[in-house]
């Protein structure tokens, strides 16, 4: 499945053959509930301690195996099979960016990234988006932020994720943190979270060359980029169980109160509260993203930029957002 894109050097545990290249990624696919397997893996990993990335394949995210994988030094844990390719692609990108921090990705990030990967690949394969993916990602993010706080989520996501997935994970995290700060009901936290999870789904149809372009977009590219809210709306509008608020959030998260936004140039009375929250979360998350070609902007600076967007964002909401933006 992985070849020819990747060069694979398989090794059978217990064979005594450890002719493994010292670069690349170790992928461990074994039943970690079996103690003798764990001991064999430990020995192999000791010999290969120079390899930083250790990707563990855990069947259906069995909790005890996930914990065991991290105990063995996993840098990422995935379920089989499609997540493996996705995760390896991410590692490739991260290596290009020469990131050197050693730490582990939380199960909530793994799970929500898998849900995003599933949604984006459904769109790219012209299949219908599964709303339960959006719900799954949102619930994982709500869980993580309720337990460990927003600051930890932002740091972890920025350390491990690139591009559009990073953006979606950040926006949803910020929106959920915002909703919790304002004291939304559980239902409303989830509603805003799902709208945030899906807000940029239209980017699945925008070429990567435009999405990941480090330089300023030219006018033609800008126009293509600006089509993503309408694409997202069109992708979702006929899905059973989609709610009007989610469609509103997806289509209108780039609208401003003064009418200068897109795609419909709405003005204040036409912009719902949910969209106002989502827009603030989206702009903030975009500012603090970490990209291979530029360092992440400190959150204080990003908040200052929001405060300067006079007339475009609702001032009392931006004020309330202070505690979210500067959370420690
Ligand atoms: Fe967007
Ligand atoms: Fe966005």
Q: How buried is residue 228: exposed, middle or buried, by Cβ count under 10 Å (0-12/13-18/19+)?
A: buried
- Please list the residues that pair with 77 across neighbouring strands: 56
Which is nearest to 160 in space by CA: 289, 294, 13? 289
**What are the tens digits of pLDDT across the range 259-290?**
999 999 999 999 999 999 999 999 999 999 98
Asked whether the CA dihedral 197, 282, 61, 1 is positive or negative, the reply is positive
Question: Which pTM was predicted?
Answer: 0.70
Contact 163, 184 (CB under 8 A): no
- What separation in Å is there between the alpha carbon of 85 and the centre of ligand 1? 26
Between the CA of 269 and the centroid of ligand 2 the distance, in Å, is: 22
**What is the percent of the chain with per-residue pLDDT over 70, rounded to a whole number?**
87
| Ligand 2 center–CA 296 separation, angstroms | 16
Cross-strand pairs, 56:
28, 77
What digits encode the pLDDT tens for the residues 136-187?
999 999 999 999 999 999 988 887 677 788 899 999 999 999 999 999 999 9
Ligand closest in space to the Cα of 250: 1
Asked if residue 211 has pLDDT above 90, the reply is no
pLDDT computed for residue 152 by the predictor: 92
Nearest alpha-carbon partner for 161 in 122, 214, 108: 108
* Residue 328 CA, ligand 2 centroid: distance in Å: 23
* 127 CA distance to ligand 2 middle (Å): 22
> What per-residue confidence (pLDDT) applies to 110?
79
The CA-atom distances, in angstroms, between 39 and each of 46, 136, 144, 167, 272 are 11, 34, 31, 39, 57
Please report which confidence band the pLDDT of residue 129 belongs to, taking 50, 70 and 90 as the band edges: very high
Residues with Cβ–ion distance below 5 A, ligand 1: 200
Compute, in angstroms, the gap from residue 5 CA to the centroid of ligand 2: 30
Q: CA neighbours within 13 Å on the CB side: how many for 308?
A: 7
Q: In this predicted structure, what is the pLDDT of residue 21?
A: 62
The dihedral sign for the CA sequence 260, 262, 266, 272:
negative
Give the distance (Å) from ligand 2 centre to CA of residue 282.
5
């Amino acid at each position: 499945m992985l070849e020819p894109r990747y060069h694979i050097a398989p090794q059978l545990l217990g064979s005594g053959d450890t002719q493994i290249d010292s670069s690349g990624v170790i992928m461990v696919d074994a039943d970690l509930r079996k103690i003798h397997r764990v001991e064999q893996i430990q020995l192999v990993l000791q010999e290969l301690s120079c390899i930083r990335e250790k990707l563990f394949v855990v069947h259906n995210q069995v909790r005890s195996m996930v914990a065991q994988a991290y105990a063995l030094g996993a840098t990422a844990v995935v379920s089989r099979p499609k997540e493996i390719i996705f995760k390896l692609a991410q590692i490739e990108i991260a290596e290009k960016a020469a990131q050197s921090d050693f730490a582990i990705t939380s199960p909530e990030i793994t799970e929500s990234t898998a849900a995003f990967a599933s949604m984006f690949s459904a769109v790219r394969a012209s299949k219908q988006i599964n709303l339960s993916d959006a719900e799954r990602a949102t619930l994982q993010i709500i869980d993580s932020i309720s337990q460990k706080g927003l600051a930890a989520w932002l740091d972890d996501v920025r350390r491990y994720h690139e591009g559009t997935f990073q953006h979606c994970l950040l926006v949803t995290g910020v929106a959920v943190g915002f909703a919790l700060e304002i004291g939304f009901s559980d239902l409303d936290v989830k509603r805003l979270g799902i709208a945030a999870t899906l807000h940029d789904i239209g980017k699945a149809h925008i070429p990567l060359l435009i999405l990941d372009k480090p330089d300023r977009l030219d006018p033609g590219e800008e126009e293509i980029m600006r089509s993503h809210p309408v694409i997202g709306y069109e992708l979702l509008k006929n899905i059973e169980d989609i709610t009007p608020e989610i469609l509103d959030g997806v289509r209108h998260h780039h609208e401003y109160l003064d009418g200068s936004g897109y795609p419909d140039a709405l003005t204040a009375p036409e912009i719902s509260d949910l969209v106002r929250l989502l827009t603030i979360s989206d702009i903030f998350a975009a500012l603090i993203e970490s990209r291979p070609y530029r360092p992440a902007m400190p959150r204080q600076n990003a908040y200052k930029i929001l405060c300067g967007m006079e007339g475009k964002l609702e001032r009392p909401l931006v004020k309330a957002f202070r505690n979210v933006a500067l959370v420690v």
